[in-house]
Amino acid sequence: MQIKNLKRTAVAFLLASCFLLIPAENFGQEVTVMKGNIRTTNDNGTRTITVKNDKNDFRIEYEGDITVSDDDRDIIGISRGGYIEIRKSRFGKRRRIVIEAESGGRLSKAYFVGRKEVSYDPDGKNWLAEILPDIVRTTTIAAESRVERFYKKGGVGAVMREIEEMDSDYVKAAYMKLLLKKNLNSSELVRVIKTAGEEIKSDYYVSQILKANQKAFLANDATRSAYIKAAAGVKSDYYVSQILKAVIKDSSINDRQMTELLEITKSIKSSHYLTQILSSIMDKRELNKQNMSTIMSLADQIKSDHYKTQILRKALKKDGLSKANYDAFLKSLNKIKSDHYTTLVINDLMVDNMSGSDLTKLLNIVGENVQSDHYATNIYKKLAKNRNITETQLIQLMESASRSIGSDYYLSNVLVAYSDKVRRSSQKVKDAYAKAAKSIGSDTYYGRAMKAMY
């Protein structure tokens, strides 16, 4: 019997003590799993699964939709033009079954031992009955018809019990996706989410299930709670970020739900991925008070000065920072240790309407965190551009500068930057300026500061 030229598919399993399917990202590659090499390929709908090791040489090739018997021990249907070929070698003994769809839905079945075709019934039939239960549990062969069969017999519970018997995360996820096409109620959805989180070890496949069905999963408190728990179990920062970015894009998720979902970010260790999530919120969501509060709170978790600065600078470009938001902003800014990044953020601040208390907090940050006279000077000169600065604030700024800046050169530069405002101010401000200038040890730089007053 002539078999069609073999093409290749996107499924894989290992036949040893069990079969294991290769994740989608490894399709077409040869990898080592347990003690065997698995290769899976796909070519225009014809699929090939091969396993080779010291004791086994196993391969399945098939095309079309396969239907198996209710006991999973026989192949009873193949879609028109389809076929399946199963080959296995063990300790030098080669066996092969070929089943092809013929006209009228009839199946032709042939069994080979070595190169010799022998009677299919009973030898071939018995061999297929022996190996087929493992095959259907470790590949997606006949998955759709099997999900339908289990669902009709015992609902979601029956499908879930079958999934729990499988070893391959890929196959488990494929069965769950088929099940989720059913009109499941809330408790059934919770069971699917819970099983996905507990049974599937691959972060990739868990994230695919959660992303693909998020509207149903986030529909009520029960499903949302299960969703958050399953997502929190994903260990990869990358896949957690992918789950959350998909949620953020969904306009049907309200702010309260978003706040609950963002609790998942507490498990993220990567500043890079946390920054991606916060940037996505600012790009995709309406930035009301609640959302900004969430962003500021999460920005506080970012340990990298580089990434924290990105978020704070982006937040400053948005309108509507509330007092609480601004306090959280300054709290997060206070945790930046780099003089460079602190200066970058402060240079973006809209200083014209800064309150006295906010200025005090900012100057405390400069005094505590900025060690470089160069960067501190840049900050004080930026603050000098405040058109609405009060006399009290002027005094506060000059006192702070004289305490923070050790270099005579840089301190004189700061005082000169404030001299125009000081000249137009009261004697009390002028006295504060003169006091700050007296802390300059160099006659040259002291003279420059005082000359700027006249």
Fold of 339-454: 1.25.40
Q: Phi and psi of 154, rounded to 5°?
A: -145, 20
Q: Which two tokens stand for residue 356?
A: 């006295």
Q: How confident is the model at residue 259 (pLDDT cuts 50, 70, 90)?
A: confident
Q: Which two tokens stand for residue 267?
A: 């498990």
Q: Could you write out the three-class secondary structure of 254-321?
A: CHHHHHHHHHHHHHCCCHHHHHHHHHHHHHHCCCCHHHHHHHHHHHCCCCCHHHHHHHHHHHHCCCCC
Mean pLDDT in residue range 293-322: 85
Mean pLDDT in residue range 324-344: 87
Taking the domains of the chain in order of start, what are their residue ranges? 24-138, 142-235, 339-454
Percentage, residues of the chain above pLDDT 70: 88
pLDDT at 40 over 90: no
Mutual orientation of helices 339-348 and 373-383 as an angle, nearest 10°? 10
Q: How confident is the model at residue 328 (pLDDT cuts 50, 70, 90)?
A: confident
Residues in Cβ contact with 106 at an 8 Å cutoff, skipping those fewer than 6 apart? none
Q: What is the pLDDT of residue 407?
A: 96
Spatial separation of the C-alpha atoms in residues 452 and 454, rounded to whole Å: 6
**Residue 315 and residue 298 in contact, taking contact as beta carbons nearer than 8 Å:** no
Least confident of 78-87, 192-201, 286-295, 428-437: 286-295
Q: What is the pLDDT of residue 418?
A: 94
Spatial separation of the C-alpha atoms in residues 227 and 47, rounded to whole Å: 34
Mutual orientation of helices 427-437 and 443-451 as an angle, nearest 10°? 160
> 427 or 57: which carries more pLDDT confidence?
427
Q: Phi and psi of 57, rounded to 5°?
A: -135, 100
Note the pLDDT tens digit of each residue in 120-170. Answer: 999 999 999 998 988 888 788 899 999 999 999 999 999 999 999 888 888
How far are the Cα atoms of 66, 112, 134, 264 from residue 141, in angstroms, in the given order? 6, 22, 11, 35
pLDDT at 17 over 60: no
Q: Which residues pair with 36 in a beta bridge?
A: 33
Closest-CA residue to 370 (of 405, 395, 319): 405
pLDDT at 296 over 90: no
